[in-house]
Amino acid sequence: MLKKIWPYYLIFFAFNAIEGSEIYSLKSTYEIEVLLDGTDQSSIKEGMKKSLSSLLINLSGTSLVLDDKAIQGIINSPEIYITQYKLDAVDEKIVASFIFQGDSLRSYLSENELPLWFAEEPLVLSYFPCREAEYESNQDAELMYCMEMEKELLNLSKSRNSRITRPLMDLKDIRDFEFLSSISAEKFMTKMSRRYGADNWLICLTKDKFGLLMDTPSCFSSENKKPSSLEMTFNYLLNEINLKQSLVVDRDVINESQIEVIGIDSFMKLEKVLQTLDSQVLIFNLSLEELEGNSAYISLSHYGSKVDLKNLLMIHADFKEIKFKSQDIISYQYTNT
């Protein structure tokens, strides 16, 4: 047993933060590409604003972050957060690539008590009944409308770091659609979401109750049953999904928690665990209290409640909580090999 680890172990804490596995908001740098109207300074500045706005939406997980006064302030001075940029000509279009430092933007969001989104890309089950028009004659207008709508959805999904899937529409799905859609499209999508294991769904209708093609599709989702445009419905859906996996750092609330991390079988793995914990946005200080077998006992000083800390570590790919019937501290299995 090794207690009160010697001071030289503290050099671990000075190392660079480890990038979270597949967690977008934990990346060290971000490269955002946008199209520019020209190469003059005004066009480049507009490109900076556009790229920063897009990045902030994905870091926070919500499009509503752009309405915050603190965010409006930094969007007007985007160059502060850009380390470098380059301009290229692609297919006679001007493409700008802006590189942002993740740490400075995460710090700004947390200092202003704005959410940070910590999760992998959410999956959305989508269905456009107008796709069935390809199997019918004289439906060219509806099919073209449908293809444009699908293209828009893919672009929206890419911009919001999400994944889109759709039902197979095999005989079982077609049977369910013919039976349930006449009653409620919502009931159909709810049943499909259970079949395909997707918690979140989106459906867009292109015809009104008289069978006439509408100018704007009528879309609704698992989070909002009120029909709206595709863009509004999708953004609202992603905002609600991401809200459930976001944290707001409350710097007025300070706590100390002890955790046990199991699976420490080498000096290198201990080093990785300490670096990873020290890089987490809620944690501002930590100390290694004890090593016993393959377990490390660590004291963490952090912002927010202990529940906030647990939620943060729960969505981190490197830690899996171990639940015992009785325990004084939170225990985790370290899964990064």
| Tens-place pLDDT, residues 62-71 | 999 999 999 9
Q: What is the pLDDT of residues 205-255, one digit of tens each?
A: 998 888 888 988 999 999 998 999 999 999 999 999 999 888 888 888 999
Percent of the chain with pLDDT strictly greater than 70: 89
Joined tokens for residue 76 = 């007007």
Question: Which of 7-21, 87-101, 180-194, 232-246 is predicted least confidently?
Answer: 7-21
Of 23 and 50, which is predicted with more confidence? 50
The reply to whether the predicted model has a pTM over 0.85 is no
What CA–CA distance (Å, rounded) separates 317 from 269? Answer: 15
Of 275 and 250, which is predicted with more confidence? 275
pLDDT of residue 137: 53
Contact 47, 98 (CB under 8 A): yes
CB under 8 Å to 75, separation ≥6 — which residues? 49, 52, 53, 56, 66
Mean pLDDT for the stretch of residues 30-58: 97
Query: Is residue 9 predicted with pLDDT exceeding 90?
Result: no
Q: Which H or E run contains 74?
A: helix 69-75
How far CA 310 is from CA of 135, 305, 321, in Å, comes to 51, 9, 9
pLDDT of residue 2: 34
pLDDT of residue 32: 97
Q: What is the pLDDT of residues 158-190, one digit of tens each?
A: 999 999 999 988 888 888 888 877 668 888 999
Q: Which H or E run contains 47?
A: helix 41-60
What CA–CA distance (Å, rounded) separates 116 from 110? Answer: 7
Of 2, 17, 61, the residue nearest 283 (C-alpha): 17
pLDDT of residue 198: 92
Mean pLDDT for the stretch of residues 273-290: 91
The chain-wide mean pLDDT, for the chain, equals 86
What CA–CA distance (Å, rounded) separates 96 from 100? Answer: 13
pLDDT of residue 325: 47
Query: Is residue 133 predicted with pLDDT exceeding 70?
Result: no
